[in-house]
Structure 1
Amino acid sequence: MPVKVLIVDDSSFFRRRVSEILAADSDIDVIDTAVNGADAVAKAAALRPDVITMDVEMPVLDGISAVKQIMAKTPTPILMFSSLTREGAGATLDALDAGALDFLPKKFEDIARNNDDAVAILQRKVKELGRRRLMSWRRPAMATPTTAPGSTAALNNARPVRAPQSQFTQSRTQTEPSVSASPSPRVNGFRASGKNYRLVVIGTSTGGPVALQSILTQLPRNFPLPILLVQHMPSAFTPAFAQRLNNLCKIDVKEAEQGDTLKPGTAYLAPGGQQMMLDPRATTAKLKVFTDDNPRITYKPSVDVTFASSAKKFGGDVLAIVLTGMGADGREGARMLKQYGARVWAQDERSCVVYGMPQAVVSAGLHDHQLALEDVASHLIKEVGHG
């Protein structure tokens, strides 16, 4: 059954271009177009498309407001088209908060190295999101902040004052001991393993911004481990996303920088367009952030790269979590982590936007647990012995 798509944009040129690209795929049926957000809300209710592509800036009713109304009245997977600017990043993150599932740059040359690849990416994203609708899709529950992202109230209220923390270094004999979880606590039938950890690493792609926000906003300010985050996202977006998470979370969240020394209670987001790994030459746990021109590595940042370097630096003392996302990035890194004795969790299919990356890990037999998104934070707190 073809995926039914409604295309929303005030530009007739862009509506026509996207329509032609999607209609070229026999598994996609462009059922109509809309010229503004109000038109989109009406047609979404009347036509019940499987996927909606949505522009951000439009007359009458903007894309973010249209997303809110559609998600309230006729919830539908929505793919946003965004400009790769600071303002575009903020608007796109607002749209994801409102209920959109994914986004693409409006300039197709920013999607991939050539036009054919860009066309394939757009078609694939639409089909993946459409399959979620055809499987009785429902947006995963998430922790909703009580204040608007980035607002003065959020900045004042969500950031508790914390005492300075000691540096997190590689050797267990140095100032920071490994965290040991008790083997006995249970949360909803989940039993902590009792394993010692020195690092948590999380990899995700499509649906990841909402999933990461859901998990990280539930962690206590004195969470005892550093966290590495790899989210497939353009370089223009990661500074805004890290800042937004930092405003909402009790833990610290920052975009990773070259030479950062890992600290407990801090999450480091890999910069878009670059790789993030643990510096193998450093005596302490420091980050190496670099531009990667290797044509064999598709994703920049890559979950595999970060996972593999974590395995080499910390061996089995790592808890890796693979969340919703398209493709198989993270599988080979998870394989290396398992060889060192680390533990790997995968998000379950029901709560994923796209069950691609977790499925790749599960199909390879590399996971220790499959968890619903709403359970990840509570289980993580128990697993590291902090709850």
Structure 2
Amino acid sequence: MEQLQRKKLLIVDDSAFMRKLITDFFNDSKLIEVVGIARNGKDAIQKIKSLQPDVVTMDVEMPVMNGIEALKEIMAETPVAVVMLSSTTQKGTESTLLAMEYGAVDFVAKPSGTISLDLHKIKKELVEKVENAANVSIIKMKRPQLETKKTTIFSADLKNMKPVIPLNTKPRSWNKQNKKMVLIGTSTGGPRALQEVITKLPKDMQAPVLIVQHMPAGFTKSLADRLNQLSQIEVKEAENGDILRNGYAYLAPGGYHLRLNKMGNDYSIILDNVEPPRAGHRPSVDVLFEDNSRFNDFDKLAVIMTGMGSDGSSGLRKLKGNGNVVAIAESSNTCIVYGMPKAAIETNLVNEVVDLENITQAILKYLP
């Protein structure tokens, strides 16, 4: 049988030690071949032109030209799939989110700073994300950036929505006046997808929003703050005891599953770092959905967007088994990675498959 041609990887880092470690990670890979190294962003731009790699690992903090500046130029001139390596400092997390906006496919957090002697701890994660990024459509990564501000007035133009793909019958009974809750799960490509959806929600929306985005601790706080700056609704990293309010979005912190506790007519948030990660994820979309399946005094909108793996599909089965639930999945047309939405659709429980730019409208048409 003909051997599969390996994808070409360029490693960009100002540390010779880090370049050697990352190179060694791929020595036995049947899918990835390291074709070169670069010492800074300027060097990377030249190497990309000459080596034409399929995927690049890019350090954020480098001399001469840092990873963010290099990424902007690369995506403008010679677009290629980029996986960022970032520190977990506040500056590092903010830079990583900028990188996601500028077109990076994904990122990996270094376990202990710029020079991580224990980088082997994230070897499996880095290899998996590089292998995945090597197959991503670069056209999808070049989507225009949003300029939405809190002062912007958004009106859902439902009449002009592109048609969705109906996969299932409508829920047993859907009364727009019933209490509603929106549950969103996403992973690879999620920060940009969330920016597209959350920034279009009107501040007077009649439902709270619970979000699980696969991210390590520290990064979720920066993401919530970033979304809050751009959105009309209030976006915050969820905290223990938060009372759910309409027009608020609560992002599960990295390292914690997001659960609910009913108190009279109110619901409060419980953050759980006791239950182990589910399929490697904490927070987990499955846990969010399963926990919500315990409550059926409100109707639920479950939205699954771009991401690797199948997180959310198991929880969707439980969610659909209790109460009124409309499930919306992002279409393959716009997904950076068509893993989680595909797995959800394969349950035959998804009601609508929608391009990313129309997901907000799809949500709003079910709300009061």
TM-score by length of 1: 0.83
Q: What is the distance in 1 between the residues matched to 2:180 and 2:140?
A: 35
CA contact (8 A) 2:164 2:354 kept: no
CA contact (8 A) 2:54 2:80 kept: yes
Structure 1 residues 343 and 138, CA gap change in structure 2 (3 angstroms): same
Aligned to 2:126: 122
Structure 1 residues 383 and 74, CA gap change in structure 2 (3 angstroms): farther
Q: What is the distance in 1 between the residues matched to 2:119 and 2:59?
A: 20
Q: What is the distance in 2 between the residues matched to 1:78 and 1:250?
A: 31
Aligned to 1:158: 150
Query: Aligned pair 1:106/2:88, yes or no?
Result: no
Aligned to 2:161: 187
Aligned to 1:311: 293
In the TM superposition, what are the counterparts of 1:1-387 in structure 2 within 5 Å? 1-107=5-111, 118-133=122-137, 137-139=139-141, 141=143, 144-145=146-147, 158=150, 187-190=161-164, 195-196=175-176, 198-280=180-262, 283-294=265-276, 298-314=280-296, 317-340=299-322, 341-385=324-368
Q: Secondary structure at the match of 2:293?
A: helix
What amino acid sits opposite 2:108 in the alignment? L
Q: What is the distance in 2 between the residues matched to 1:371 and 1:14?
A: 41
What amino acid sits opposite 2:96 in the alignment? T
Q: Map Cα deviations across residues 278-311 of structure 1 (whole Å, 9 max, x no partner).
A: 1156641211112224366631111111111222
Give the deviation of 1:383 after TM superposition.
Answer: 2.9
What amino acid sits opposite 2:161 in the alignment? V
Aligned to 1:152: none
Q: Secondary structure at the match of 2:8?
A: strand
CA contact (8 A) 1:142 1:210 kept: no
CA contact (8 A) 2:75 2:142 kept: no
Q: Map Cα deviations across residues 89-131 of structure 1 (whole Å, 9 max, x no partner).
A: 111111112211211012389xxxx987732222111111111
Give the deviation of 1:138 after TM superposition.
Answer: 2.8
Give the deviation of 1:137 after TM superposition.
Answer: 4.6
Q: Secondary structure at the match of 1:333?
A: helix
Q: Map Cα deviations across residues 322-365 of structure 1 (whole Å, 9 max, x no partner).
A: 11111111111111111124111111123111111111111222
Number of aligned positions between the proteins: 348
CA contact (8 A) 2:101 2:145 kept: no
What amino acid sits opposite 2:18 in the alignment? F
Q: Map Cα deviations across residues 41-92 of structure 1 (whole Å, 9 max, x no partner).
A: 1222222211111001111111000000001011111100001111111111
Q: What is the distance in 1 between the residues matched to 2:337 and 2:298?
A: 28
Structure 1 residues 311 and 141, CA gap change in structure 2 (3 angstroms): farther
Q: Secondary structure at the match of 1:189?
A: coil
Q: Secondary structure at the match of 2:306?
A: coil
Q: What is the distance in 1 between the residues matched to 2:54 and 2:229?
A: 34
Q: What is the distance in 2 between the residues matched to 1:143 and 1:311?
A: 35
Q: What is the distance in 2 between the residues matched to 1:365 and 1:316?
A: 22
CA contact (8 A) 2:10 2:55 kept: yes
Structure 1 residues 295 and 89, CA gap change in structure 2 (3 angstroms): closer
Unaligned runs of 5+ in 1: 147-156, 162-183
Give the deviation of 1:277 after TM superposition.
Answer: 1.0
Q: Map Cα deviations across residues 173-193 of structure 1 (whole Å, 9 max, x no partner).
A: xxxxxxxxxxx9672234996
